[in-house]
Amino acid sequence: MRVRFAPSPTGQLHVGNARTALFNWLLARGAGGTFVLRIEDTDAERSTPESERAIAEDLEWLGLRWDEGVGTSGDHGPYRQSERTHIYRAHAVELLSLKHAYHCFCLPEDLERERYHALREGRPPKYSGRCRDVSRDHARARIEGGESAVIRLRVPENREVVFTDLVRGDVRFSTEVIGDFVLLRSDGSPAYNYAVVIDDALMEITHVIRGEDHISNTPRQMLLYEAFGWRPPAFAHVSLVLGPDHGVLSKRHGATSVKEFRDRGYLPEALANYLALLGWSPGEDQELLPLEELARRFRLEDVGHSAGVFDVEKLAWVNRHYLKLAAPERLAQLSAPYLAREGWLTGASPEALAYLAGVVPPAAASVDRLEQISARLRFLFDYAPARALEDGTFRAEALAARPVIDALVDDVSRSAPMVDRETFRAMVGRLRERTGQKGKALLHPIRLVLTGESEGLELDLAVPAIERGALVGESAGLGPIMSASARAAAFRAALQA
């Protein structure tokens, strides 16, 4: 089995295309087949090398490695359509001599007018076939005379073209609605439907899995396979991904490209797992499974027929799941850019990363995506009691808890840093005895003073994080982080001001 993903390098990899790539990969992976990456850059205007690189990078990030294609040494290359022009031309000549194709000299404006009239009279707007009978010799003469021509396929009249779609079953089209379409443009470059067939055939693709938007291209492609006498591959058209308003997923819905999701701090395994769930189900009421397991279970016949609405909430849930599974070092590494953006991390020293590996995982357990990690860790790096006390509720809570606060300031100024849960709890125990307060009345004031926030991480975790962070110090490229004792003093000063 050989499958392919064939994007046009005209922008970032869209999640809908990523899902198509994923389905291809899952099928190949599950069947021990070959996954080919081909670049369809026949539109010279819009194709860029940057976007080809970006797409390749996104596929790799998602874990969808290709066995053959650009950047590999496969023996079905080249894998960039812009490098295959000679192949397309050679095959066009073959079609010409087989009389399956012909030169067409019709002017764009004439075609435009024909189309307009056809539409107005309720007829399918297909090419009239006016140049069908221009002989090859005559055509050659006109071209030598400076006229430009396209090459069109001679589409048989009044025929039914049927193909079996692996996800939808038999699909049939009448050639009555298919005009003689363009194979080679007047500049010699291949049109999509033509290049695809040549490439899929020559690259020995056995299963073409692509978006539903290509379903009406398929009969044209079948006709081409027929003209060449080639056996067509199996086709499978997967439905499209929609936005929450059931329209095309676009920027106003938020992120739409793989790159954007990556930048927001979604894990690749989460995006891939979520995408697999959109239009397919692994069965047994299971949803969260590693890619390899998904590949084992994947069957094209089980892919849903209807378009799917992209649900960011569910993606967030999947992401939270994988965030909890991720190794601490990895989370620290992945969080670094977000912390650096805030100016809290100036260099990824081993000490700083080791410290983060301890503090990021508990914070990450309560966010949807890593982008939110800085808000969750703000208490460490941006301690500002004066600012916090500007809030009326916060101030009132602090004022009401003066005895606890005073005792805290006193205790913390005289005891050792609370670098672990036990020393912190010991301190809480001393305060309980001294003030007679317990539970919320005791812990909430401690939170206000030590974190400068009224909500956040468990204090058991937060306070040792503060103390250890203060010890790591700025020389390691971290912080600065104020110690608990400095915070207590600063807080009391701010409260009295």
Partner RNA sequence: GCCGGUAUCGUCUAGGGGUUAGGACACAUGGUUCUCAACCAUGGAACCGGGGUUCGAAUCCCCGUACCGGUACCA
Only one residue has tokens 């009389």, namely: 99
Residues in 80-139 that interact with RNA by CB under 7 A: 106-108, 111, 115, 119, 122, 124-127
* Shortest distance (Å) from residue 348 CB to RNA: 26
Catalytic residue among 99, 251, 314, 324: 251
d(CA 331, CA 385): 29
d(CA 223, CA 311): 39
Beta bridge partners of 91: none
d(CA 26, CA 297): 9
d(CA 190, CA 196): 9
Phi, psi of 165 (to 5 degrees): -85, 130
Phi-psi sector, 473: left (phi>0), alpha (psi -120 to 50), beta? left
Residues in 226-255 that interact with RNA by CB under 7 A: 239-240, 242, 246-248
Residue closer to RNA (CB basis): 129 or 473: 129
Beta bridge partners of 208: 235
Please choose, out of 86-94, 301-309, 336-344, 464-472, the segment that lies near RNA by the rule CB under 7 A.
Answer: 301-309
Residue closer to RNA (CB basis): 165 or 351: 165
Q: Are 99 and 154 in contact (CB under 8 A)?
A: yes
Picking from 397, 377, 458, 460, the residue whose alpha carbon sits closest to that of residue 426 is: 460
Phi, psi of 147 (to 5 degrees): -75, 145
Beta bridge partners of 80: 39
Residues in 281-300 that interact with RNA by CB under 7 A: 281, 283, 285, 287
Q: Is 314 a catalytic residue?
A: no
* Shortest distance (Å) from residue 351 CB to RNA: 26
Tell me the three state secondary structure of residue 152.
strand
* Shortest distance (Å) from residue 349 CB to RNA: 29
Kindly state the tokens that stand for 292: 């390899």
* Shortest distance (Å) from residue 391 CB to RNA: 14
Residues in 185-204 that interact with RNA by CB under 7 A: 185-187, 189, 191-193
Alpha-helical regions (H) of 365-416? 373-381, 385-388, 392-400, 402-414
Q: Looking at 23, 280, 322, 338, which residue binds RNA (CB under 7 A)?
A: 280
Please choose, out of 164-172, 342-350, 410-418, 472-480, the segment that lies near RNA by the rule CB under 7 A.
Answer: 164-172
* Shortest distance (Å) from residue 390 CB to RNA: 19
Residue closer to RNA (CB basis): 365 or 471: 365
Tell me the three state secondary structure of residue 297.
helix
* Shortest distance (Å) from residue 65 CB to RNA: 22
d(CA 209, CA 330): 34
Residue closer to RNA (CB basis): 188 or 347: 188
Residue closer to RNA (CB basis): 456 or 469: 456
d(CA 223, CA 361): 57
What value, to the nearest 5°, has the Cα angle with vertex 481 and ends 478 and 487?
180
* Contact track, RNA, 408-427, x by CB under 7 A: --------------------
Residues in 356-395 that interact with RNA by CB under 7 A: 365-367
* Shortest distance (Å) from residue 142 CB to RNA: 13
Q: Looking at 169, 229, 343, 350, which residue binds RNA (CB under 7 A)?
A: 169
Residues in 306-365 that interact with RNA by CB under 7 A: 306-309, 311, 313-314, 316-317, 320, 365
| Pairing mode, strands 101-104 and 150-153 | antiparallel
Q: Which residues contact 419 (CB under 8 A, 6 or more apart)?
A: 464, 467, 468, 471
Burial class (CB in 10 A: 0-12, 13-18, 19+), 470: buried
Q: Looking at 30, 33, 43, 406, which residue binds RNA (CB under 7 A)?
A: 43
Q: Looking at 150, 205, 208, 412, which residue binds RNA (CB under 7 A)?
A: 150
Residue closer to RNA (CB basis): 99 or 305: 305
Please choose, out of 57-65, 201-209, 278-286, 344-352, the segment that lies near RNA by the rule CB under 7 A.
Answer: 278-286
Provide the sign of the torsion angle of the four alpha carbons 22, 28, 32, 37, taken in this order: negative
* Shortest distance (Å) from residue 336 CB to RNA: 21
Residues in 429-488 that interact with RNA by CB under 7 A: 439-440, 443-444, 447, 454-460, 462
* Shortest distance (Å) from residue 253 CB to RNA: 12
302 part of the interface to RNA, by CB under 7 A: yes
Please choose, out of 197-205, 207-215, 262-270, 335-343, the segment that lies near RNA by the rule CB under 7 A.
Answer: 207-215
Q: Are 221 and 190 in contact (CB under 8 A)?
A: no
Number of helices (H), then strands (E), belonging to the chain: the values are 21, 12
* Contact track, RNA, 3-32, x by CB under 7 A: ---x-x------------------------
- Residues forming the active site: 251
